[in-house]
């Protein structure tokens, strides 16, 4: 087992990438704290973990609120005694997110509060717990749009994920000598409810797919496998990395400096 006896907190753990990662990490031996605003779905994930003889618990968490993030870390230490892995994965993509002219300030603020400040709060309370444990791993979900612009305008989302990527790099440098590794998982376009509800017409979906050399959307399970690699000792010499899992999209459009 690649995460035997580890303890992981996964935000946005009730659906999508978070759900698949929670189930996979549990199968690989980790005890899981599922943190999400969706209580019923989060408890269902914990129940599924239990059915497979794993250990998990749910804590209702709005990552835009400092007190909620502090509580989710306390839950990990209270329930399982420590924290080894923090997966800051929770995020939103508002259907009305558009270009600078059309995007409302309220949409911008909400997107930043969840996607960017939520990662900050996770690290604010997670880093001390990792220190108490002698080190550990932080994985932050960024996006391919942190590296290239999106063909379909989504300015707040893109800016928030660019911030996550920049934050990841600085955290990695700051904590490298503390045995705390920090990497960014950068998914390409995925067949998840989050993206499919945003790309709500076939025209929008094809406009996104035309840029993907592999010609298909990624799956949440594929991102979970990438998160497992980053969380495990197999990536022990990786920190501050942008781990692009994008079907070749950025290779087709980014020119090396």
Compute CA 103 distance to the chain's CA centroid, rounded to the nearest angstrom. Answer: 24
State yes or no: pLDDT of 257 exceeds 60: no
- Residue 218 DSSP code: B
H or E segment and range at residue 8: strand 7-11
93-120 pLDDT, tens digit per residue, is 998 999 999 999 999 999 999 999 999 9
State yes or no: pLDDT of 86 exceeds 90: yes
Q: How far is CA 56 from CA 31, 33, 46, 83, 252, in A?
A: 6, 6, 5, 13, 40
pLDDT class for 241, splitting at 50, 70, 90?
Answer: very high
| Per-residue pLDDT, 256 | 60
Q: What is the DSSP string of 140-192?
A: EE--GGGTS--SS--HHHHHHHHHHHHHHHHHHHHHGGGTEEEEEEEE-SB-S
Tell me the average pLDDT across 203-228.
90
- Rounded Cα gap, residues 158 and 203, in angstroms: 20
State yes or no: pLDDT of 185 exceeds 90: yes
% of the chain surpassing 70 pLDDT: 98
The sheet carrying 56-60 orders its strands as 56-60, 31-36, 7-11, 85-88, 136-141, 180-187, 242-245
| Per-residue pLDDT, 189 | 87
State yes or no: pLDDT of 42 exceeds 90: yes
Across the chain, which distance is largest between two alpha carbons, in Å? 51
Q: Which residues contact 237 (CB under 8 A, 6 or more apart)?
A: none
Provide the annotated active-site residues.
Answer: 157
H or E segment and range at residue 200: none
On whether the CB atoms of residues 46 and 20 are closer than 8 A, the answer is no
Strand ranges inside 12-100, DSSP E: 31-36, 56-60, 85-88
On whether the CB atoms of residues 29 and 55 are closer than 8 A, the answer is no
CATH of 7-238, one of 3.40.50.300, 3.40.50.970, 2.30.30.110, 3.40.50.720: 3.40.50.720
State yes or no: pLDDT of 124 exceeds 80: yes
φ/ψ of 10, rounded to 5, equals -125, 115
């Amino acid at each position: 087992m690649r995460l035997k006896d580890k303890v992981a907190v996964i935000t946005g753990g009730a659906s999508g990438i978070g759900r698949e990662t929670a189930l996979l990490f549990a199968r690989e031996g980790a005890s899981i704290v599922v943190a999400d605003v969706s209580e019923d779905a989060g408890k269902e994930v914990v129940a599924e973990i239990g059915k497979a003889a794993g250990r998990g618990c749910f804590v209702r968490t709005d990552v835009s609120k400092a007190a909620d993030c502090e509580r989710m870390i306390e839950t990990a230490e209270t329930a399982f005694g420590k924290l080894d892995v923090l997966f800051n994965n929770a995020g939103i993509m508002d259907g009305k997110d558009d270009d600078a002219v059309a995007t409302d300030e309220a949409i911008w603020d909400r997107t930043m509060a969840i996607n960017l400040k939520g990662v900050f709060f996770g690290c604010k309370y997670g880093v001390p717990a990792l220190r108490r444990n002698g080190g550990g791993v932080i994985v932050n979900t960024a996006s391919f749009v942190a590296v290239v612009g999106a063909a379909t305008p989504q300015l707040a989302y893109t800016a928030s994920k660019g911030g996550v990527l920049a934050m990841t790099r600085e955290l990695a440098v700051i904590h490298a000598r503390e045995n705390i590794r920090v990497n960014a998982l950068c998914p390409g376009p995925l067949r998840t409810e989050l993206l499919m509800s945003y790309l709500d017409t076939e025209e929008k979906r094809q406009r996104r797919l035309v840029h993907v050399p592999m010609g298909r959307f990624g799956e949440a399970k594929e991102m979970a496998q990438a998160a497992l690699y980053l969380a495990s000792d197999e990536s022990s010499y990786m920190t501050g990395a942008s781990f692009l899992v994008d079907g070749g999209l950025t290779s087709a459009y980014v020119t090396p400096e």
